[in-house]
Chain A
Amino acid sequence: MEWLLFVPLAALALGTAAFVILLRNPIYCALALVGTFFALSGLYLLLQAEFVAVVQVIIYAGAIMVLFLFVIMLLDVGHEPPPWLRRDRPRLLLGLGLVALLVLELAVAIGSWIAPGIRGPYTSDYVNAVGNTQLIGRLLFTEFLIPFEITSIILLIAIVGAMVLARRQ
């Protein structure tokens, strides 16, 4: 049953991701990336991570991609054909080499010491009883407090960075 949902979502994710690099018009590429994010959101839902799935749409598809679109539209980015159409052999070979390396790494990681389906103390039933968002809140503000506070500093740096970049114009 899970495969019935997983396969189309995974195919969609991979397909749209491929389109991001294959399409010429940068706006089309950005829209393909939005499609990828939706597919990822679906995959999160399959993993019972409701909060993460919705937040994925809100932040990635709803905020970050809007920024991308603004930038593409404001800068009137041109259309560039992908590397093999540009007859750029060195880049093409480097890319293929990196892909092979990545696939090898993933195969080793999945096959060996990372056992599929590690069971922690938080079973599906427990999560559903307490509430997905509530449990995330509970963990975030107790066990993971320090990373949370550091996030605020990171966001502050991002604000300052954005202002500096904007001022340069």
Chain B
Amino acid sequence: MPEPAFFVVMLAKIAVVFGLMLLSVAYLTWLERKVISDFQVRLGPMRVGPHGLLQPIADGIKLMFKEDIIPEAADRAIYVLAPTLALIPAFISFAVIPFGDRVRLFGQSIDMVISDVNVGLLYLFGVASLGVYGIVLGGWASNNKYALLGGLRSAAQMISYELSMGLSVVGVLMLSESLSLVRIVGAQSKAWFILLQPIGFLIFLICAIAETNRAPFDLPEAETELVAGFHVEYSSMKFAMYFMAEYANMITVAALATTLFLGGWRGPFLPPVVWFLAKLYLVIFLFIWIRATLPRFRYDQLMRFGWKVLLPLALANIVITAAFVALR
């Protein structure tokens, strides 16, 4: 049995990361609205608090007090379970992502990661596969043609791009020789993997946007298409939970891109956590930028792109990288 200090440190890390995650998800909505409004040459939220900074809180309170409608025809148990199934994987993914180097605090050597699992990257892959359930069950439980179709399409999109995402990181694995994210960051001491795996990074980024159902891959859930897709029958906090899950996924996948390709917390002079957050912010800003700029893909274009372009490209990347690694 490990000493009590171990448990205290573990619980502290969990509490801090979970709390910050909730806060980040809320303020990511504010950030997105502000950035998009900048792109569209308007002001965005300005009234609620200075520069609209209290907007997420106001939105949260509003959603909490809205009427909780469950359609008559819906399957009650799964209708309530589905948003929960979407939320849980979104919030537990961050457990294996290192956000800083080892620190010495109160005489203890603490790793800046909640849990350095040996198969960290596979753990993330597994949790990502579970994200499909919340959406497809939500669509089905609503007992609504549009919701079901939207849910199925969203699920089909997610699994198609999950493949290329899984393949795009194989190159990184060949270079780092470990599935542990802590060790992958460690392996980037000489060069960030984006320099050695530029195509892998590109594929990963595209798949990340498709995985999280963000624009331009957000057809299954856009308001103007398929009447908002799988969450059309959802209101109040259950609806909010789906969105919390989406934004949390966005943060996690940006953090993963940072860890795998941008050297994680590595960087000179500044403390590691600062570097991590800076790179994280950069990737998130990129996601928002892409959303503000690109038009939406049609569903068949989306699926064709995933299977006929990204999948072969990812396989080619693996073949080329493997040739370099095995023959040097």
Contacts and interface: CB of A to CB of B under 8 A. Distances in A.
Given A27-B78, A66-B155, A69-B136, A132 B129 contact: no
Nearest to B151: A73
Contacts of A39: none
Interface string B186-205: 00000000000000000000
Interface in B59-80: 75, 77-78
A47 interface: no
A66 B155 CA distance: 9
B235 interface: no
B129 A63 contact: yes
A132 B119 contact: yes
A151 to B, nearest CB: 17
Given A27-B78, A57-B126, A73-B140, A66 B119 contact: no
A70 interface: yes
A66 B126 contact: no
Closest 10 pairs (CB-CB, A-B): A62-B129, A57-B126, A54-B122, A58-B126, A50-B119, A54-B119, A54-B126, A73-B140, A133-B179, A58-B129
A54 B121 CA distance: 10
A69 B177 CA distance: 36
Interface string A61-96: 111001001100110000000000000000000000
B281 interface: no
B148 A73 contact: yes
Interface string B168-194: 000000000111000000000000000
A57 B131 CA distance: 12
A31 B178 CA distance: 33
Nearest to A54: B122
Contacts of B152: 70, 73-74
Interface in A114-153: 131-134
Interface extent on A, as a size class?
A: 20 to 34
Interface of B: 75, 77-78, 117-119, 122-123, 125-126, 129-130, 132-133, 136-137, 140, 148, 152, 155, 159, 177-179
Given A34-B133, A70-B155, A131-B178, 16 more contacts: A27-B137, A50-B117, A50-B119, A51-B122, A54-B123, A57-B129, A58-B125, A62-B129, A62-B132, A66-B155, A69-B133, A73-B136, A73-B140, A74-B152, A131-B118, A132-B118
20 contacts: A27-B78, A28-B78, A31-B137, A54-B125, A55-B122, A58-B125, A62-B129, A62-B130, A63-B129, A66-B129, A66-B133, A69-B140, A70-B155, A73-B136, A73-B148, A74-B152, A131-B118, A131-B178, A133-B119, A133-B122
Contact of B132 (A25, A66, A74, A134): A66
Contacts of A62: 126, 129-130, 132
B79 to A, nearest CB: 12
Interface centre among B118, B132, B177 (most CB of A within 10 A): B118
